[in-house]
Amino acid sequence: MDYIFIEALRVDARVGIYSRERVAAQTVELDLSFGLPEKAASHDSIVDTIDYAKVIERINAELAQRHFNLIETLAEFVVSLLCDEFAASWVKVRAAKLGVTKGVRRVGVCLERDNPQK
């Protein structure tokens, strides 16, 4: 199985149910893995793969414009973006809020989905 991974992508996002989380964006860390078309590795052409720079650009743009109550919903949004806009065959997203609780480095979720359209 061929896939692209993006590790420790830090984005500013508004996520949370508490008033302090609704006022300002906080850093969310994303680890992404997503399936590639089979021809990507054999053709040496960007048109046959998923452009990870565009993935990063789209995630940053979308998360800057939205508010999510739950980190789970944010992660599901990213999964859907990768499946719907980039036609990834499957997606794994790990999303974490950093330093939200004393003594804890990060708190988050991990979602893995097959693309139902593939």
Q: What is the pLDDT of residues 1-23, one digit of tens each?
A: 899 999 999 999 999 998 888 88
Average pLDDT over residues 66-94: 97
* Domains detected in the chain: 3-114 (3.30.1130.10)
Q: Are the C-beta atoms of residues 113 and 91 closer than 8 Å to each other?
A: yes
Cα distance between residue 86 and residue 37, in whole Å: 11
Q: What is the pLDDT of residue 1?
A: 82
Q: Residue with structure tokens 């061929």?
A: 2
Q: Are the C-beta atoms of residues 80 and 73 closer than 8 Å to each other?
A: no
Beta strands 104-114 and 67-68 are: unpaired
Task: State yes or no: pLDDT of 89 exceeds 90.
Answer: yes
Mean pLDDT of all residues in the chain?
Answer: 93
Task: State yes or no: pLDDT of 118 exceeds 80.
Answer: no
Average pLDDT over residues 29-52: 90
Percent of the chain surpassing pLDDT 70: 100
Q: Which two tokens stand for residue 106?
A: 């990060």
Number of Cβ within 10 Å of residue 34's Cβ equals 25
Average pLDDT over residues 40-45: 82
Q: What is the pLDDT of residue 37?
A: 82
